[in-house]
Structure 1
């Protein structure tokens, strides 16, 4: 079964980049991106509640980025690379598939830069997020949720074949994805840790770009770094199950049909994997807010719950680093409150 679906989408990747994509050309051609670029990154690294007697947990608060998620970094890196390498006489038009946050970031950047965006998103995308995307003027195509991420990628590839004037960003294979987090997110974490050495790095998988990029940065200081990727129990990394529309926390599911995210498969073949049910992630959102007064999204809550499990196996003088991708859409908070009641 895997070979059949492998032939339908391309999962090969190039070698990692040796530096972050250059912003110079993008900022020169699109000055309205400067304010966004100035506000991007330098997000707080905060000590968060951990298990009694276990390692400390430090979480990167990525929901403080301009459009509210870690995908702001990825989107900007991919767009900067596309602008710098665009050689055609026709205006640059961009295309990608996303479960939500990446589409929001691309739409916002496209609006600022005046670059047309065509975005493929699942039909079950939270209405509040879809509204925010559509307000930017981006062209949105809703893909059948039953097809999962694999289905969205196939829709995206079909659009690109019919309209060769579009430039596909292909976030799940574009090496600017890893570079954004190796030379951005990961470098910031090392600076914020001071002289401390992280013992473990735990994060939602998604495309794998954040998990792999931060790992590449942290391993320079901690060669024995433990790594754990987090995916939904309903659609975990590498699952043989076919894509489906069963509810789960967004942005971190597997492709289905045995396919594996290439960034994880090539850069982190030995990573551990934690699978968190959607209901548990929703409960984690409420529990984290109760303990800290701060709102985090479902994938962030899943990362926190998994980080606590890893920290419980380590000593109190060690550090587990994790990342909270967003603060969650209002629809997830409504579900969490309903579940609690």
Structure 2
């Protein structure tokens, strides 16, 4: 699938983030650089980071049946991380990189997030004593904003009607105005590297131990670090494993429309205005793309809880559905992996109950 490339500013509304994405867009060599040396430098500069390391990673791999019951989908249960989502891994990698590259343990930070990454960064920065300013989309739940502020983070809302892209743009403005280091998750090669060296390696080791060859890996895409890094690890061992980039039907990859307010799988989606995730764009021809609507994801959340007693987020449910489609189309007894980003927010489960 080839998505459009943005060539002109989007009516002047998001020019700050467009410039930042263009300026820091990583190449393949950046994305494929190792994480471990960066982590070692960060730990020397800020030893308190070592306290976070045991609480991130080593999450279970849980087998459940595919949607039609013809095979098995192994859920990488990222709710076992500190802060309860896969974004704990991303936050840890971003903080290591910020400390190592800034040259100071007192780096002042800013980042944008719709929820899970914000929670992870706020909790970790509270432990580390780092000054954090977060930009969140207009209309973010009061529950989320309250938790972020209790952790000591400053919180600013993006403009009304601008969606997630508006929060991204606001974060760049804050970075310029307050002279803060912008983490910029969408251009962070360390977010790929940590999943290649940790998440993907964990999955590969467990499946190899079980004697299983996965036919597919599915993960819902926000910044794409989880999917790209985990794919790189699994395809080193199993080159024929099909990687599936799961997007919400409400906001597909490279979506040319302006960002909308339609509910969708949390933490996922195209950015709007034809922008593509910079961590995914160099590899997009290597991926299969799938779309799942929010109502279908909610239905899958309920089904997994009812039939397997597993609580997952809407994005995890979407990944399970996409992995199931591949497994169920072939011979019986095949296996796939789906990244289960978390257990789901209170708002998602309320939507699932009402649907």
Which TM-score bucket, shorter chain as reference?
over 0.9
Structure 1 equivalent of residue 26 of structure 2: 13
Aligned with 2:74: secondary structure? strand
Structure 1 equivalent of residue 167 of structure 2: 152
Q: In 2 relative to 1, CA 270–27 (structure 1 residues): closer, same or farther, beyond 3 Å? A: closer
**Shift in Å at residue 51 of structure 1?**
3.8
Aligned with 1:102: secondary structure? helix
Gaps of 5+ in 1: none
Structure 2 equivalent of residue 107 of structure 1: 122
Is 2:181 the partner of 1:177?
no
Q: In 2 relative to 1, CA 142–297 (structure 1 residues): closer, same or farther, beyond 3 Å? A: same
Is 2:277 the partner of 1:261?
yes
Structure 1 equivalent of residue 60 of structure 2: 44
- Counterpart selection for 1:3 from 2, 7, 12: 7
| Bigger Cα displacement from structure 2, 17-26 vs 61-70 | 17-26
Q: In 2 relative to 1, CA 288–5 (structure 1 residues): closer, same or farther, beyond 3 Å? A: farther
Q: In 2 relative to 1, CA 335–252 (structure 1 residues): closer, same or farther, beyond 3 Å? A: same
- Counterpart selection for 1:328 from 332, 338, 344: 344
Structure 2 equivalent of residue 310 of structure 1: 326
1:24-72 per-residue CA deviation (whole Å, 9 max, x = no partner) reads 4444554544343112100001111214463321110001101010010
Aligned with 1:183: secondary structure? helix
Structure 2 equivalent of residue 118 of structure 1: 133
- Counterpart selection for 1:276 from 282, 289, 292: 292
TM-score, reference length from structure 2: 0.89
Structure 2 equivalent of residue 292 of structure 1: 308
Matched residue pairs, number?
Answer: 337
Confirm or deny: 8 A CA contact 1:201 1:321 kept in the other structure.
yes
TM-score, reference length from structure 1: 0.93
Is 2:173 the partner of 1:162?
no
Question: Which whole-Å CA distance do the structure 2 matches of 1:161 and 1:60 have between them?
Answer: 38
1:76-116 per-residue CA deviation (whole Å, 9 max, x = no partner) reads 0110111122236x931111111111111111110000001
Confirm or deny: 8 A CA contact 1:110 1:117 kept in the other structure.
yes
Question: Which whole-Å CA distance do the structure 2 matches of 1:79 and 1:64 have between them?
Answer: 20
Question: Which whole-Å CA distance do the structure 2 matches of 1:300 and 1:121 have between them?
Answer: 22
1:143-170 per-residue CA deviation (whole Å, 9 max, x = no partner) reads 1353233222211111122222x11111
Structure 2 equivalent of residue 191 of structure 1: 205
Q: In 2 relative to 1, CA 280–124 (structure 1 residues): closer, same or farther, beyond 3 Å? A: farther
- Counterpart selection for 2:222 from 206, 223, 238: 206
